[in-house]
Structure formats: C-alpha cells, structure tokens
Amino acid sequence: MQRRRRLSAILALGVIAGLVVPTAATAPPAAAAPAGGKKVIANLFEWNWSSVATECRTNLGPKGYGWVQVSPPQEHVRGSQWWVAYQPVSYRIESRKGTRAQFKSMVDACHAAGVKVVVDAVINHMSGQDNGGTGWAGSSYGHYNYPGIYQSQDFHYCGRPGNEITNYNDRWEVQNCELVNLADLKTGSDYVRTRIAGYLNDLLSLGVDGFRMDASKHMPAADIAAIKGKLSRSAYIVQEVIHGAGEPIQPGEYTGNGDVHEFRYGKDLARVFRSEKLAYLRNFGEGWGHLPSGSAAVFVDNHDTQRDVGGVLTYRDRGIYALANAFMLAWPYGSPTVMSSYTFSQRDQGPPSDSSGRTLNATCYSGWECEHRWPVIANMVGFRNATEGAGVVNWYDNGNNHIAFGRAGKGFVTINDEDYAVNGRSYQSGLPAGRYCDVIHGTFSNGTCSGPVITVDGGGWFAANVPAHDAIAIHVGARLS
C-alpha cells in the first residue's frame, strides 16, 4: 500500500513543504564512466539542435552538467510520433531536429560551455515500415533496401513467425530476430560493421564525445566491440541493455565495452519512495545486485521507462520525483543521467512540432518539462560535482523514511519522506565549520545564497528542522565566505 502522499491542492501549486517544483506558472576513450570531474548527463530528449546549443550556454554549463545526451540525429522515417527518430533510413545528419550545420554548431556551442555531447546512436536496425517510403531528408528506402547503404543481404531473417522476437529466454532469437518489425542489421557482418562505424566516425568528426548505443541487448557484445574497434578515436560508450530476470542476456556481459544502463535502479528507487522505506537505501546499488558502480549508468527515468505507467517516477510525480533525483545525485553509485522531458498525454506522442513536423524550439514549462532546470535537481548537480570520489559517512536513518548521510567531508544531505516534520534534530555533517547554502531550497551564486543558510559548528554538527517530504543538502562548493 502506498504511504499517504500530498494533497492535490498543494501539488497544483507545485510546492511541497517548501520544496519548489516548477509549473507553467512558476518557471524558474570508452571509459568506465564519463571522463572528467563533471559526470552528470542531461538527457534533452527530442530537443532540436539550436535549443540544445542555447541550453548548453545558458543553463547546462553554468549549472555544472558535464554532458548532454541528444536524440538520434540521422535521417529517419516521417511521422509525428517520438519513435520515428529510432527508425533510420540513412546516415545523413538531417532530421526534424535540424540540419548537419545546425548539429555541428550545437556541438561547438556545448563544448564552448564546457559540456560534452553524447549521441543516441541507433545502430541495431533500420526502419520498421513494410512498404518503405521517403525519409525526412528525401531519401527513398524499402524495409530491407537503403540505396547506397544496405540491401537485403545485410539483414537478419531469423525464420520465426514474422521474423519477430517472441521469446526473450532465447538468446539467439533476441539477437537475430526483429524488434517490433525493425529491420535487424546483420552486425556480425564486417560490411555492416564498417558502415555503422562510418556513421559513428562521421559524428566524431563533428566533435561528438560519446554514444548511447540504442538496443544494445539485441546485438552480441562482441559485435559492439568490433564496431568500437573501428572508431577513429576514443569515445564514451554507454549501452542500453534492459535487465530481465532469468533471461540469458544480462547487462554484465557488456561492461567490457563501456558503461551499461542499470534499468533496475529507477524501478527500485520508485518502489522505495512510493511504498517502502528510505532506510532500505543504505546499501543501494551494488548491495541490491545492481551492476558494479564503475560500469553503471543510472537514471530515475528515461524516455522509455517514463512511458511505462507506474513503473518509475516521472515528472508527473512532482515533489517525490525531485527528491528521488536529489538522492540519485547525492548517492555515489553509478554515473547519473537527469531526464528532461516534453509534456505528453499519449504514449506515442512526439515533441512539440510545427505543421511540417519540424521540432519547435524548447520553451521550458510550456510544452517542455525541463526537469534538468528544476531548482532542486539543477542545484544538486553542483553537490554531485563537489562530492565526486568521496565515500559515504555518518549514515543515519530512523528505521523508516528519514535518512541522512555525509560524503566524507565534502557534502551532507538529509531527506525526510515522512508525513510529518522532523524538528529539533542535530546532524553530524563531517564538514568544516562555516555557513553553507542549503541547495535544496536556494541557489549559491557569487558567494551568496538565495535560500536558507546552514551553520556548521567546529565539531561538524548543525541543527535543522526538515519538513515532511523535504530535504536539506549542503556541500563545500556552496560555502559562504
């Protein structure tokens, strides 16, 4: 049974116990982890290239995001749905999100802002249109015929009914049959591998820093390794491999190629926040049987899981979603990605677009949810950066839904998801004496804090009241002079 939650009237205001959540009315080398000290990725799902460029300059860079993940940039089938971007018809960098020149300009703008670029790379398959047609940029194609790129011999025909995957307990079928009618590339072929690598190398020539390998579970890890071996330079690699209990294909098989998405993370975190106890999070991650921290790419939700009703927390959960993201950014497991969505009411709904189908510029809190800008989430990116590499110390829990922990002299957070305030308590932060900005409720800028200030004494202690379903977070990067 779910614990008692917030009143709908409070949700409508977007404010929960002092925790502000924006609404339309209140806009505020394949390494084992992303390279550099700033490892948080913002997934600007389906943003067009000019909007990504602007966001890198105005928000992602200044807030400390190290990376931006952008949606597939290749030419795709026509249509209004979100998933058309996952049906390539050619490897031209021309899509409803913009032109090749706009893409290159976006990469340069993000780099100038100190933000690296990860491309969602669709390399397992081509389109799923039986009768073919004309792609976004004018390329003609058939289901198994992509002139100048692939012909029928370059695809798998597994012989199962409809060539479709029906049994996820059959490894061969999962990696040789079609995923929802998408023409499955023969990635064991050197010709196909070379073609795929050519596309990825073209993106590298435009300055791209890494790839999210879509549908990696449907390709043997050795095929991905062979494609990676054809890359012109090193790049960050993260692979989409959805864990299935008892299935023969497991995420751990792919860690030799780079990071792997840990899909259990978001589902487990949602279950804990919705109906279990935050005290259970004391060993969250590897202690729960998840991937090793150095190989895990984690998220509260992504573009797929947020469309699975009830499975994970999403922007619709407002305050509890913000708290879950705050925990993810405070807890030293895996490499975190923050989701940034557009508002949708139907599963297949695409991004805001004009009459021609071209994606509109992103306007936060008006058609675009922009979770990466929510003050709680954006400010906790600085917490993550300031505490990178520091272990967990001074764990506290009340056996239920009030927890607190430090990050070895770099930061401290306490989360109270009880239905009542926790007042009059003192916390051992392990931080040097001083005055710190509570980044859950305020922004630290130019040595000042727009919200509450927490005073830590010479012994590392501070006293604070934490309202119900709220939190406090302080770190050495937000210490007042």
Query: Measured between alpha carbons, how far is 326 from 421 in angstroms, rounded to an integer?
Result: 18
> Cα–Cα distance between 456 and 448 in angstroms, integer?
16
User: Which residues are catalytically annotated?
Assistant: 214, 240
Residue 397's H or E segment, with its range, is: strand 393-397
Q: Which two tokens stand for residue 155?
A: 């695809």
CA dist., res. 82 & res. 341, Å (int): 11
Sign of CA dihedral 156, 161, 167, 169: negative
Q: For 163, left (φ over 0), alpha (ψ -120 to 50), or beta?
A: left
* Token digits of residue 234: 């090193």
CB 231 within 8 A of CB 194: no
In order of their start, the domains of the chain are 8-387 (3.20.20.80), 393-480 (2.60.40.1180)
Residue type, 245: A
Per-residue pLDDT tens, the chain, 481 aa: give them. Answer: 444 343 232 233 333 445 767 765 444 444 456 867 899 999 999 999 999 999 999 999 999 999 999 999 999 999 999 999 999 999 999 999 999 999 999 999 999 999 999 999 999 999 999 999 999 999 999 999 999 999 999 999 999 999 999 999 999 999 999 999 999 999 999 999 999 999 999 999 999 999 999 999 999 999 999 999 999 999 999 999 999 999 999 999 999 999 999 999 999 999 999 999 999 999 999 999 999 999 999 999 999 999 987 799 999 999 999 999 999 999 999 999 999 999 999 999 999 999 999 999 999 999 999 999 999 999 999 999 999 999 999 999 999 999 999 999 999 999 999 999 999 999 999 999 999 999 999 999 999 999 999 999 999 999 999 999 999 999 999 999 8
Q: In what order do the strands lie in the sheet with 393-397?
A: 393-397, 402-406, 411-416, 470-475
**pTM of the shown model:** 0.94
Q: Of 406, 376, 379, 375, whose CA–CA distance to 477 is shortest? A: 379
User: Distance between CA 258 and CA 249 in Å, rounded?
Assistant: 16
Identify the DSSP state of 475: E
Q: Which of 387, 406, 388 shows the shortest CA–CA distance to 396?
A: 406
